[in-house]
Amino acid sequence: MEAAWTSLVAATATAFIALLFARAAWHKLSDFTAFTGFVADYDLMPAGRVNLVAMALVGLEVLVVVVLLTPGGNVAGALLAIALLGLYAAGMGININRGRDRIECGCGGAVQPLGWQLVGRNGVLAAIAALCLVGSPYALSLSEAAAALVSGFILWVGYLLIEQIMATTAVMRLRR
């Protein structure tokens, strides 16, 4: 019973993180020019490297999804997701400490200026990605796998709602 529970948690987290990174990559690819502008706004690299870094970030996000959905890839996919979320949080934290909190996150969703709440959000997302490591998402029956997929989807929809609330709150804060 314990093994099934941990596998269910891992599969739910895997579905959620795969959806999260698929949406983020799609958003960035759908307007790559805007995304490269967001990367440039962070001012963490020479201007000549911005396009290369932006392409690499999107490629790594796509890789997270592909590896997570490849049998046996949940460990590598989760570790890559955790690393990317940490990298993004570090970039946000550096800019917030510089007083540059009016730049767009570029996270792949609702428009959100940088703030410590986004750094915290990335910490929570990294913790969820770590749940991919608690068991094998491939050791489930068909009904358990379906339940995990539905649960991951429901978590993702809840995340989208919370993200929209955070974006609205941030915009209201900027208008003051």
Q: Which residues pair with 104 in a beta bridge?
A: 113
- Contact (CB, 8 A) for 128 and 9: no
Higher pLDDT, 169 or 161: 161
Best CA proximity match to 106, nearest among 19, 16, 22, 25: 25
Q: Which residue has the tokens 């094998």?
A: 136
Average pLDDT, the chain: 91
Q: Which residues pair with 113 in a beta bridge?
A: 104
pLDDT one-digit tens code per residue, 52-71? 999 999 999 999 999 999 98
pLDDT one-digit tens code per residue, 78-91? 999 999 999 999 99
pTM for the whole thing? 0.91
pLDDT at 107 over 90: no
Terminal CA-to-CA distance of the chain, rounded, Å?
Answer: 53
